[in-house]
Homo-oligomer: A and B are copies of this chain.
């Protein structure tokens, strides 16, 4: 028996109980003839007391305890004289009568505290020590709690979790696959799934009716803060449903999670915004709606007054930052530099302050009368003290994206992106296709199984770009936490989609033949959604990177520096797999 209690559960009511605890030594303090040690486990921290007077030998051993030693102690629960209100066990301490050192520890390379002195790379190399820090471990506890609640919610609604295979076939469409050479089938490869999309559609053809799976997915893409080569999806699909059914079910799940995990009761339906409006008013398909600051288009007001930059632009638009007229010239120059960065690519920024008397003072005053500037002010509904920031450009969509970045940056500076405030939203009516400059053709915006809105089907032959999809994304605080669509279940329409996407019938058959064949045997109407678990957890935990809610993440080169993976194989392993290394210079 290593312990009778954990380090997190003793309270004042337990005084005089004899207990045995086990855990890690957080720190040791010597004071006069006493030694105090904080003993830590997953459940909390408990203060241990050793006294020279009552047991000199034990006290001497305690004084030698090092940080992170693993010990077991037995002693009596006693009321503390100076209580610590910051921890739940702060009213008591243990007067230790016996101690066993279960394992010694070398001094860790960084402190095991929430405010550690360890840098990112060091903590990743020693991730097993990083995970001892309460702030890291609590993210994983939250993750567990969320998956439990997700399963409880879906199980209650009759969803069945079905495991789909990890070793599947590679599909050249879409993102790059990770592949796995098959020893038993020389020269052939499995692929790891980018998502169980096709399998969940098959399960609907099989009559499973309501499927879900919390599942690892894999994408061999270049990495950044919110991307990992392996990530986890809450993958769902339903039969005999339309878009409203799916949205209702998963809005319900979001509300359930907010309530159970964050204690936030969200009432009423989530707002909906068309993709078209999201682009027009926020410049992206995942607007952060914790704050307003909508785009206002100014082409009618600001063009034709002799300012050549605006006059030559297809798009002129701006945002109104409430109360930001006090921005200094230096701050405004920094914003101009921000939008001029190559990643954003604007040529410049025009600004206008609304002064206390209501007059507008802009950086382009020499081209505009106060009357025109007042029209502009009115278009924003701007008031004294507000700051108006304007971008323009030759390409409407590109300029909107630049303005979107500016909006987010300004909001960040004004403290409007509060991690404890949540703004949920459905973006709907996505275009079915998007034009690829690179490929010189229309591509599926989501995937080729997404259905067009029935009323837009005639447009397939006349105006592909105008066809809207039965597709929807859930956006929270500017993060796309999930998305899905109603699928095509009609073979003829599916074949037409492939034709429009430039697939020959042979290529469609080669790549998706098994799904197309399945559809011949009675496919039900179906649709679904996939939530990104890593994003959900990050959102609820207030993290900046999904990496912080993953136990053993990879770095931006796809390496696990702790275990040093990937690594080279023995030549015999390559031989067995019938492959050879072939690094092109």
Contact = CB atoms under 8 A, between A and B. Distances in A.
Interface in A208-239: 208-210, 216, 218, 220, 222, 229-230, 232
Contact of A2 (B132, B148, B203, B240): B240
A170 interface: yes
Contacts of A170: 567, 569, 573
Interface in A472-513: 489-490
A180 interface: yes
A564 B169 contact: yes
B218 A166 contact: yes
A165 to B, nearest CB: 5
A522 B232 contact: no
Interface string A542-582: 00000000111010011110111111111001111111111
Interface stretch (A155-163, A267-275, A330-338, A424-432): A155-163
Given A128-B518, A520-B105, A140 B166 contact: no
A53 interface: no
Contact of A172 (B192, B207, B209, B570): B570
A450 B42 CA distance: 24
A7 to B, nearest CB: 10
Given A523-B103, A578-B584, A584-B575, A565 B169 contact: yes
Nearest to A109: B521
Interface string A172-194: 10001111111111111111100
B522 A22 contact: no
Contacts of A181: 179, 181, 579
Interface centre among A137, A177, A565, A570 (most CB of B within 10 A): A565
Given A128-B202, A521-B108, A550-B163, A24 B582 contact: no
A565 B168 contact: yes
A2 B176 contact: no
A490 B103 CA distance: 7
A168 B560 CA distance: 8
B207 A42 contact: yes
Contacts of A531: none
Contacts of A23: 207
Indicate the member of A164, A522, A560 with the most B CB atoms within 10 Å: A522
A242 B2 contact: yes
A305 interface: no
A144 B180 CA distance: 28
A148 B578 CA distance: 41
Contacts of A169: 560, 563-567
A180 B182 contact: no
Contacts of A218: 166-167
A169 to B, nearest CB: 4
A536 interface: no
Contacts of A172: 570, 573
Given A68-B522, A105-B520, A183-B220, A165 B568 contact: no
A575 B584 CA distance: 8
Nearest to A524: B70
Interface string A24-42: 1000000000000000111
A234 to B, nearest CB: 13
A387 to B, nearest CB: 43
A126 B205 CA distance: 11
Contacts of A557: 184-185
Interface string A68-92: 1110100000000000000000000
Contacts of A575: 582, 584
A147 B152 CA distance: 12
A131 B240 CA distance: 18
B568 A187 contact: yes
Nearest to A512: B563
Nearest to A579: B579
Most chain B CB neighbours (cut-off 10 Å) among A131, A524, A562: A524
Given A41-B209, A521-B105, A144 B165 contact: no
Contacts of A199: 551-552
A206 B558 contact: no
Nearest 3 pairs between A and B by C-beta? A105-B522, A169-B565, A131-B206
Interface of A: 1-3, 22-24, 40-43, 68-70, 72, 102-106, 108, 126-129, 131-132, 137, 140-141, 143-144, 147-148, 151, 155, 160-170, 172, 176-192, 198-199, 202-203, 205-210, 216, 218, 220, 222, 229-230, 232, 240-242, 489-490, 514, 518-525, 550-552, 554, 557-560, 562-570, 573-584
Given A2-B242, A140-B162, A180-B566, 15 more contacts: A70-B524, A103-B523, A105-B521, A131-B203, A163-B232, A165-B554, A167-B230, A180-B180, A181-B181, A184-B557, A188-B567, A190-B565, A198-B563, A203-B551, A578-B581
26 contacts: A2-B241, A43-B209, A105-B520, A106-B520, A106-B521, A129-B206, A132-B207, A144-B155, A144-B162, A148-B155, A164-B552, A165-B552, A167-B230, A169-B560, A169-B564, A172-B570, A172-B573, A188-B567, A188-B568, A198-B563, A199-B552, A203-B551, A216-B216, A578-B582, A578-B583, A580-B582
